[in-house]
Structures are given as C-alpha cells and as structure tokens.
Amino acid sequence: MYKQLLNIFILLSTVTMFSQNYRGTISEINQSGFHKILLSPEIRSASASNTNYFRIIDGNTNEVPYVLLNDKSTVQSSYKPFTFDAVNNTKDSISSIIIENKNKLKLDHFTFKIANTKVKKTYTISGSNDKNEWYGLATNQVFYGLNEAEKTTVEQTFSFPLTDYAFIKFEFNNKESLPLQILNIGTYENQLSTVEQVEITDFKIKNKTNKEKKTSQLTVTFTMPQHLESMVFDIENDVFLREAKILVNRTRAIKKRTENYQENIFNFELHSGTHNTFELPYVFEKEIVIEIENNDNPPLNIKHIKFYQKPLYVICNFKNGETYEAIIDTTLQKPIYDLVNFKASFNTDLPEATITNFSKIKTQNKASENKSFWETNAFMWLCIILAIVVISYFALGLLKDLKKQN
C-alpha cells in the first residue's frame, strides 16, 4: 500500500513540475512592419486547436502582441441564365436539353431550376461545337427528384468534367416517368468566393468491408490530433447514392467498469451527382472512422479522401533584423493585447513570415523554479498522502479493538 502511495506521489510531482511545450523559429524579417503568419495544421494540432496557448517572443523573451485573422469565404448570388432548347421525343422517350455556351466558357456544372418533382431519372451529358458531332461527358447518371416544402420550384446542380464546348446536351430518359419541367438553366457567377484551404496530409487510411453488416469502414489515423473543417471524396464509380457517417472512438464508465463505444458525430450522403465536398462540425481527433452503407451494392472505389482547414493567420508587428520565436505553452491563458481592437483595419495583403523548426520541448515551469518546496503542489500532495496514511493507520487500529471487544 505504502509503495503504491509513493508511486502516486512521484507521478503527481512530475506532472506538476513539468509540462510538454513546443517552440519554433520565425523566418528572417527583412522589413519592419506588420506581417502575417499562417498557423499550419502541425501548430494548430500542438495547441489542441486552442490559440490561447500561442505566443510570439522576441530575442529578449518579451511577448510580441498579435491578432488572429481568419480568411473567410464570401457568397455571391448572381445567377446567369443560359439559352437552351428543350425537345421531348415521345417515340424514344427521351427529353433533350441543348444549352448554348455562346462564349465557350469553361464550365463544370449547370444549375437547373425545376418544378417540384419526386421522379427518378437517368441521364447522359455530351458536348459539341457544331450540334452535329457529339462527344460524351457523363453517362448513366441518376437524378433523384427534389422538392421544396414552401416553394413550387427547386434548384439542382448537375456536374460534369470541365469543358468549353459551344453546346452541351442533357438527355433524360422518360421511360419510367413523365418529363421534367425545366424552367431555367444557368450558373451562379462567383457563387462561392473561397480562400484556398490548408490541406492536412499526415494521415493513413485503413479500409475494411463488413459483408455481414453490408458496410465499409475507413479508419483514418492522423499522426497528431487534427482540427478537421471539411473533407472531399474522389470516387471512381459512375452511379452511386450511399448514406455515410463519421464515428469516433469513445470510452465511458458504467458502474465499476469502462466501456468502449463509437459516437456518431456527423451524417452525410455520397452522391454521384455532386462534388462530395462536406463542411464538418467541430472535429478535433487523432482518429475517425468513416462508415458507408453499401446495402447490396459492391463497395465504392474511393480514389482518395482529402481533409482541409480554413487558413488561420496571426498578424504582428516585426522589426527588421530582429529574431523571433513562436511558442506553445499549455499553462498559459488567453492573452489580452491592444492590437485586437484594430483587427478590422488589417487585410491579408501583408508580407508573410513562416514558422520553421517547430518541435516539442520539455520545460520546467518557471513558477516551480521560483517557489520553495513548501510552496509547491508537490508538498501539498505529500501532506495529503501523509494524512491518508495516518488516518488509515488509526482506522485499522480502531477496527482491531472493536473485533477484540466482540
């Protein structure tokens, strides 16, 4: 018993006296003024996705104030309609939609405005420069009817390989249902003006198929826990529609035992008619499991999966020729700098600096160095353990006396 208590004391003393931190060098500063520094996935992972722990210090170990800057996407809503001709061939049960790309723009999708429907149709897409010779773009695609609860129309985006044909033709098969009522066809100009996201690349994927449950599980393991904000699937199958979800491994206490289980944190749908790009809720994990419902279909042939973060910068005022370091210390609290009040005056058009040689270090807390042993947490735990030993000793003695009296 005493040996176990001693081991606990040593462990707690070690935890309170040491902390795991990180340090990196900021690249050479060649001009004075404000600079921006991109926080890489490695840095954000080391900080447990908490920038309160992040600091920049100069050569004299003085803090350099900074402000965080997120590059955010902006949404535009300028719909540009295209001229199109619609022909319903009742003999062949085919609806042909020929869209004119007059200026031969590079296109990879059209947004159709369609009257509400629940029908299911297959369709093909082809392109031509003269309306005589047609070349394939996509075949055996499937459209599943959509409807708006409070509107009589719905928008559906149809994707295809990037092309600049003068004419693009959609052919819908009407053998199993009546034709669609297509009201307009066009594109949203600058529909989503996005900043370039930061790709997370340091991970491995293990693919496993469960024939009994008719599912595929892709276990994605990162070198360090990562903050995931979006993911993109590149799937080689021509036609598919699969329900999928993201699971994370968890443990919970049930009475006197612990139980391992998987928590569902995100549901989504993989569809051959979309780009299969998904914005994620807050996810900071070292490992996730993507489970795909196959039903009676063969597993999907997934070429690759990509994960991204939105870029996060720090902006600070550097002096030419000075040296600076970036540190992460999990004992620190959120800094309060005057600079945060001027955040709106900054933009991303600033000189860039980078953090290099970023690595883990083991440092002794300065607070522990400046305190005597009697003021440390180690002494407090020693007193607690000694008190437990003394109380246990007298309690055992009391129990023995009671047994003798009985």
387-396 confidence digits (pLDDT tens) = 888 787 777 7
Q: Tell which CATH classification among 2.60.120.260, 3.40.30.10, 2.30.29.30, 3.30.310.50 matches the domain 78-193.
A: 2.60.120.260
**The pLDDT of residue 179 is above 80:** yes
Three-state secondary structure call for residue 17: helix
Give me the residue spans of the domains in the chain: 23-70+312-364, 78-193, 198-304
**Contact in structure between 220 and 287 (CB atoms under 8 Å):** yes
Strand-pairing partners, residue 171, are 96, 124
**Where in 236-256 does DSSP place strands (E)?**
241-254
**The pLDDT of residue 137 is above 80:** yes
| Residue closest to 229 by CA, chosen among 279, 269, 272, 180 | 279
pTM of the full predicted structure? 0.59
**Dihedral of alpha carbons 96, 98, 99, 101, sign:** positive
CA angle (82, 87, 92) in 5-degree steps: 140
101-113 confidence digits (pLDDT tens) = 999 999 999 999 9
Three-state secondary structure call for residue 119: coil
**Dihedral of alpha carbons 190, 170, 299, 250, sign:** positive
Which is more confident, 71 or 284? 284
How far is it, in rounded angstroms, from Cα 235 to Cα 233? 6
Q: Which of 7-21, 126-140, 206-220 has the lowest mean pLDDT?
A: 7-21
- Rounded to an integer, the average pLDDT of 291-298 is 96
Determine which helix (DSSP H) or strand (DSSP E) holds 22, and give its type and residue range. Answer: strand 18-26
How far is it, in rounded angstroms, from Cα 85 to Cα 29? 60
The fold of 23-70+312-364 is Immunoglobulin-like (2.60.40)
How far is it, in rounded angstroms, from Cα 177 to Cα 158? 19
Q: Which two tokens stand for residue 258?
A: 């612990």
Which pLDDT score is estimated for 190? 57
Which pLDDT score is estimated for 389? 80
Q: Give the confidence band of 12 by pLDDT, cuts at 50, 70, 90.
A: very low
Which pLDDT score is estimated for 195? 67
- Rounded to an integer, the average pLDDT of 350-379 is 72
In order, the DSSP letters of 175-197 are: SSSPPP-EEEEEEEETSEE-PPP
Which is more confident, 201 or 72? 201
**Contact in structure between 103 and 162 (CB atoms under 8 Å):** no
Q: Would you say how long the chain is, in residues?
A: 406
Can you count the helices (H) and strands (E) in the chain? 4, 26
The DSSP call for residue 310 is -
**The pLDDT of residue 291 is above 60:** yes
Which pLDDT score is estimated for 399? 72
117-134 confidence digits (pLDDT tens) = 888 889 999 999 999 999
**The pLDDT of residue 85 is above 80:** yes
- Rounded to an integer, the average pLDDT of 149-162 is 84
Contacts of 80 (CB under 8 A, 6+ apart): 186, 187, 188, 189
Q: Which two tokens stand for residue 53?
A: 């722990």
**Contact in structure between 16 and 33 (CB atoms under 8 Å):** no
| Residue closest to 331 by CA, chosen among 118, 18, 4, 109 | 18
236-286 confidence digits (pLDDT tens) = 998 999 999 999 999 988 888 888 999 999 999 999 888 899 999 889 999
Q: Write down the mean pLDDT value for the chain.
A: 85
Contacts of 65 (CB under 8 A, 6+ apart): 316, 317, 335, 337, 338, 339
How far is it, in rounded angstroms, from Cα 80 to Cα 202? 40
- Rounded to an integer, the average pLDDT of 187-211 is 82
28-46 confidence digits (pLDDT tens) = 999 999 999 999 999 999 9
23-70+312-364 and 78-193 share one CATH topology? no
13-22 confidence digits (pLDDT tens) = 444 444 558 9
Give the number of other Cβ atoms within 10 Å of residue 157's Cβ: 14
**Contact in structure between 200 and 227 (CB atoms under 8 Å):** no
Domain 198-304, what architecture?
Sandwich (2.60)
Side chain identity, residue 99: I
Q: Dihedral, CA atoms, 282, 284, 290, 291, nearest 10 degrees? A: -70
**Contact in structure between 249 and 287 (CB atoms under 8 Å):** yes
